[in-house]
Each structure stands twice: as C-alpha cells, then as structure tokens.
Structure 1
Amino acid sequence: MSAPNKTLAGTLATLAAGALFGFGLSYSSMIRPEVVLSFLRFEDFGLMLVMGGAVMVALLAYKLAPRLLARPLLDDHFHKHPSVWNRDTAVGAALFGVGWGLCGVCPGPAIAG
C-alpha cells in the first residue's frame, strides 16, 4: 500500500472508530450528566456494564489481534504499548477523575453530546 493510501485508510479508520465511539456513548446514555452522576453516587450501575464491556473488547483486541493477524491492517507491525505508573500518572488520573465527578461528564461524552 502506498503512503497516500495509508494515510487515507488511516484517516477513514479513525473517522469510523470515532463515529462508532460517539454512537456507543450516546446509545449508553453516558452523555447525560445525571446518568453519570448517579453512577458515581453508586445509585445506577448500568454504566459499569458499558465500561466493563469496553474493557473486555479492548483486552481481547490487544491480546488476540497479534495472534490472529500476521500484521495489522493499517501498519507494518504491532507496537508494544509501555505502561509506566509513576507519581505524575497517578496525579493526572486523580485530577481527571475529580474533574469528571465535579462536572458529571467525561470529555469524550461531552464532545459526543
């Protein structure tokens, strides 16, 4: 595949993934602050099923795709994603969570809404 085709295919794949993500957020009602706040208050656990399903799909994709495919569809090899937990990561995650809880809307659903 030539370079222009790779960028076009990558752009279309990104657009399709973003549209699917936005549709999923809307369909799960995660774009409504009252639903998110009721989840954060442990009153409604419907979003836990949504997030658990998303985690399972991502886990399966990361674990099974390299075993089932010789190479990715839009790249020449699979990349390792290093995850390093340090103080900065913990502080950033805490700030994100506090901001999410105060606003009642995660940035992804806010954009989708």
Structure 2
Amino acid sequence: MSVILQFLTGLAFGLGLILAGMADPTKVLAFLDLAAIPAGAWDPSLIFVMAGGIAVTFTAYRLILARERPVMAERFLLPEPGPVDGRLLTGAALFGIGWGLAGLCPGPALVSTLTGGQPAIIFIAAMLAGMAMARLLSSATPPLRSKTA
C-alpha cells in the first residue's frame, strides 16, 4: 500500500509542477529575471504557486504533526536542526546558481525529462555528477566542527 501511495503522491506532485509551469524553464527564468521588471517582461505568476505551496504546507504540517504518529509509520522522522555552516551555504549557493542558469531545480527537472527533452536530461546528468563529486569530497575531508567555549 505504501508504494502505491508514494507513486500517487509523486504523480500528483509532477502534475502540479506541470500545471503550475514550474517544469517550463522559460517560465521560471522569466520569473527569476528581475531585470525585466522595468521593461514589463517579468512574469510574477510563480509567486502564486509559491504562496499556495507555503499555505498548504503550513496547514498540513500543523494538522499532521498534531497527530500522535503518522498514518503509515511508527513514528515521525523529522530532520534535526543543525548549524548553518560552509557546506550548507555552498550547497544553497550552487542550488541557486543552477536554478538561475537552467530554470530548473531537481523536482521539475525530473518531470521535464518526460516533457522537456534534452535540456532536462543534461541538467539531471550535471546534478548527478555534482552529487557524486560532493560525496567524494565530503568523504575525503573531515567534517568541520565549530569551536565551543
């Protein structure tokens, strides 16, 4: 049952990305191009997509986390808060640069492999190469630790 639910959730997510225009790199780049505001070419429509996503997530988290346990698991598996370190900042910067250059981030890129063709496939290949390189670098260097007083 859980595999079917995961498939249906992923399908709904992918369809939502397509309907919202997030799987179309030109639409995303038109939103990210703030220099186009004076010319009137800026596309602010993705603000509504983000606002809708934030509203749904905010409400759903409050309702779900009020439960004693998840419906299909023994306990909630939530990430532990950690420090804002160089790895986090570097990863966020690389993510933002990639999103701004390609108009895609990982979720829409996966959807776009079915609808967008070669640019999405190149993006996925570059993303996988970057993930492999990050894994190699993190295993080759010890983790940074902050000094405690």
Task: Please confirm whether the aligned pair reaches a TM-score higher than 0.5, indicating the same fold.
Answer: yes
The residue correspondences of 1:1-113 to structure 2 (distance < 5 A) are 9-42=1-34, 43-67=42-66, 69-84=67-82, 85-113=84-112
Change (3 A) 1:63 1:81: farther
TM-score, scaled relative to structure 1: 0.82
- Consecutive unaligned residues in structure 2, runs of 5 or more: 35-41, 113-149
Bigger RCO (CA 8 Å, 6+ sep): 1
CA distance in 2, matches of 1:11, 1:101: 33
- 4+ residue runs of structure 1 moved beyond 3 angstroms? none
Sequence identity (%)? 38
Change (3 A) 1:86 1:20: same
- Consecutive unaligned residues in structure 1, runs of 5 or more: 1-8
Q: Please tell me whether Structure 1 or Structure 2 has the larger radius of gyration of its CA atoms.
A: 2
CA distance in 1, matches of 2:77, 2:108: 28
Deviation per residue, 1:45-82 (Å, 9 max, x gap): 11121122112222222222122x33211111223322
- Offset, 1:98: 0.1
What RMSD in Å do the two structures reach over aligned CA positions?
A: 1.5
TM-score, scaled relative to structure 2: 0.64
